[in-house]
Structure 1
């Protein structure tokens, strides 16, 4: 049978439920098909279900079984561990009953599970299963993560270059706007208004100056009149004071 058509979900002594195997069929999130295939099955049931599940708009056939661990292994809480296994795709048509699925599929999975059962939860986070040449191999995720990191480095460098280019373009646009900014030209109406105000101020200043000169001229004429009167009165006053005083 093709191992890359298997979806396998179970738990261990210290680690919780997880999908150890997923079919090599393009799918964004296998949790949705998983729930559709096992939605009517509890972890304690021994059951086979068959149907079609929607993956990327395609109705894909499947056969799914749920059964307790054949060796009655338990988790830390003392519960019997269940296994949920589905064969997805045309390969599922080869299995007609529960016994055929459990016998053929579990024969491929039992030795792998025996190695994983006692793993700590933290250790399981670093492990993945790889199907290759009809065998299931246990591999560490660290090596794959390092490869992904090396692949992402060029992408990161490209992103930095793009960001720098975008920043430079923004600076250039701002500088061009500053350089090309034209001074504001006053409108004709505002210019006429300002001119009228200046002319009005000049007229008021001229009127003020004329008024000042007029008052100065009036004062000068008055002074001249007083001076003439003094000249006329002085001889009379002097003659009166010089006249002899006669005794009665």
Structure 2
């Protein structure tokens, strides 16, 4: 798998829905988002070509959780997929197309699905 994906649902908190094949995706996630900032939209790619990139954007359909917060989607994009992405907009085009249907099925479930 060429990406990790973390988000939250309507009733469940922030979870990894895709783990990128890592038993523990958190260290990879932390490394990618270090220095990325807290803005609602982020594209952060370190200079080293083998480093993972961080992508964050608000839910394209404007979904909100039960507390009214906009649902964020956070991705760690790994090679080779990262090589064709140079901005938030390009990242949304590529990544959202891969997960939109899946998120539509799970975002309002009472419990999050397990990462896979």
TM over 0.5: yes
| Equivalent residue number for residue 128 of structure 1 | 114
- 2:102 is the alignment partner of 1:112: yes
Tell me: higher relative CO, structure 1 or 2? Use CA pairs within 8 A at least 6 residues apart. Answer: 2
Give the structure with the larger helix fraction: 1
| Equivalent residue number for residue 37 of structure 1 | 32
Query: How many residues are paired up?
Result: 115
- 2:78 is the alignment partner of 1:85: no
Are 1:52 and 1:62, in contact at CA under 8 Å, matched by a contact in 2? no
Measure the CA separation in 1 of the matches of 2:60 and 2:42.
Answer: 14
Measure the CA separation in 2 of the matches of 1:41 and 1:110.
Answer: 25
- 2:20 is the alignment partner of 1:23: yes
Gaps of 5+ in 2: none
- TM-score between the two structures when normalised by the length of structure 1: 0.42
- What's the CA shift string for 1:51-90, capped at 9, x where partnerless? 278xxxxx83222211111111111111111110121123
Measure the CA separation in 2 of the matches of 1:12 and 1:32.
Answer: 22
Measure the CA separation in 2 of the matches of 1:85 and 1:103.
Answer: 13
Larger radius of gyration between Structure 1 and Structure 2: 1
| Equivalent residue number for residue 155 of structure 1 | none
Gaps of 5+ in 1: 54-58, 131-248
- 2:60 is the alignment partner of 1:74: no
| Equivalent residue number for residue 42 of structure 2 | 47
Measure the CA separation in 1 of the matches of 2:107 and 2:80.
Answer: 30
Are 1:7 and 1:23, in contact at CA under 8 Å, matched by a contact in 2? yes
Secondary structure, aligned partner of 1:8 = strand
- TM-score between the two structures when normalised by the length of structure 2: 0.85
